[in-house]
Chains A and B, each alone.
Chain A
Amino acid sequence: AQRVTQPEKLLSVFKGAPVELKCNYSYSGSPELFWYVQYSRQRLQLLLRHISRESIKGFTADLNKGETSFHLKKPFAQEEDSAMYYCALGNLFYGQNFVFGPGTRLSVLP
């Protein structure tokens, strides 16, 4: 069964500090991993997808198939990064099923 876990409900860091939001997954088939972000009172929007291997707003995420992880990292957090972050898994084997993790609220303190 597909499952996405995010162990931290809340993560607080100071501005300029490095940040890492953890994501682990379990799957059967060919997974695609994503990070979505939800700023206060806004809709969810795609931040990163593992297949793109790009950096968005200074964030990067590497898929580690051995550890089944897709942690989101940023070397220097900014206050505007404060938001809810969701890791998500799309599984081609299961067709259109798309699974989100429970989310981590990132709070960047001044």
Chain B
Amino acid sequence: EAQVTQNPRYLITVTGKKLTVTCSQNMNHEYMSWYRQDPGLGLRQIYYSMNVEVTDKGDVPEGYKVSRKEKRNFPLILESPSPNQTSLYFCASRSRLAGSTYNEQFFGPGTRLTVL
């Protein structure tokens, strides 16, 4: 089954304790993104990656890091989490642009992070 998976689904941690949220897709997609979802703000893009070893900042990158060492994986790293990073996080992937159109993004199930 084609899908995007994230782990863990729920995480409660404390300020300053480094954590990693994993994201994996089995569709051989080139493009992957991380979003955070907050009430009243919708989804905001944190980082995206166009291919292996190619990453770039989205709209709200502060406090986050990513890596893309393999095509299927795109982990999100919080080196020193703070309470304002408490949010619902979604990973997404899609295939390379076809012509002049965007291809559909496929989303993971989400990771609910609470930083105390």
Contact = CB atoms under 8 A, between A and B. Distances in A.
Interface of A: 4, 6, 9, 30, 32, 34, 42-46, 49, 51, 86, 88, 90, 92, 95-103
Contacts of A97: 45, 48, 58-59
B108 A98 contact: no
Contacts of B31: 96
Interface of B: 31, 33, 35, 40-45, 48, 50, 56, 58-59, 90, 92, 97, 100-102, 104-105, 107-110
A97 B44 CA distance: 10
Given A43-B90, A86-B43, A101-B42, A96 B48 contact: yes
Contacts of B90: 43-44
B78 to A, nearest CB: 21
B48 to A, nearest CB: 5
A92 B40 contact: no
A43 B50 contact: no
Nearest to B49: A96
Contact of A43 (B42, B56, B110): B110
Contacts of B92: 44
B45 A99 contact: yes
B40 A102 contact: yes
Nearest to B43: A100
A9 B40 contact: yes
Given A32-B101, A43-B108, A96-B56, A102 B50 contact: no
Contacts of A9: 40
A86 B56 CA distance: 24
A10 B48 CA distance: 30
